Amino acid sequence: MTIEQDTRRQTQSQLDSIEAEIRDTQPLTSHKKNLLELRKQYEKDSNFDKAVLHLSESYASIRTVRGDGNCFYRSFLYSLCENMKDRERIINVVEDSISHAEKFGYERFTIEIFWEELLDFLKSLPCEIHEQLVQENSISDYSSWYMRILTAVQLKSDPERFLPFLEGEYYDIPTFCQKEVEPMGKECQMTQVLALAEYMGVRVEIEYLDGRDVKPTKHSFGSEEAKTTLNLLYRPGHYDILYKV
């Protein structure tokens, strides 16, 4: 074994160890918590602490999501299931989505099981959402991956509009989707947030808590006329679910 190969092996071993620790210590989604519990994490950071206090004027609770690179899609899914105001329309969007995905190069036999998992779950609502979405290697994973495909479909449907907003050295949408959108564990940029909100026809409102200011900044994605609104919290590299007062 060369030095380079040994270094790669050790690096992968460290990554595997970190992933195992995350799985063992963080549920896919937590139960609701009082938002002010976040202050315990920021006792030594006055900006974050004050920002949490500002947030508490509008939001009462938070549901934390596992920090495994899929947190935006898991948060989107969970909040969608809790807040669907136009259930029939959303189910129809998902039902028709597999045909759209095929038009953009995704083979039905490779994505059908994931599509069915999400569609069947949405049709089963209302159900025990939390019990279903905390199961390992089950609905949350399957549905989160399929929502990555829907995000990619939206990006590919209008490449000229989305291309200028890509972060990193990407010069075409298909490569970006292949590297940054489709693989599980890849963190989400604003471009993906907008694409998924638009595809699903929902409004996503995200409070940005990044420590730069004592007052969080809100960014909204998707149509103002959308009947369903999802409220999320962003902290550097991570998304959780917010619940209004």
The residues assigned a catalytic role are: 68, 71, 238
Residue appearing with tokens 């959303």: 90
Question: DSSP E strands: which ranges in the chain?
Answer: 33-34, 59-63, 203-208, 217-221, 229-235, 238-244
CB 43 within 8 A of CB 221: no
Q: Reduced to 3 states, what is the DSSP secondary structure of residue 34?
A: strand
CB 59 within 8 A of CB 216: no
CA–CA dist 8, 5 (Å, integer): 5
Helix (H) and strand (E) counts in the chain: 10, 6
CA–CA dist 133, 78 (Å, integer): 7
CA–CA dist 236, 51 (Å, integer): 14
Q: At what angle do helices 190-200 and 139-157 cross, to 10 degrees?
A: 90
CA–CA dist 126, 117 (Å, integer): 15
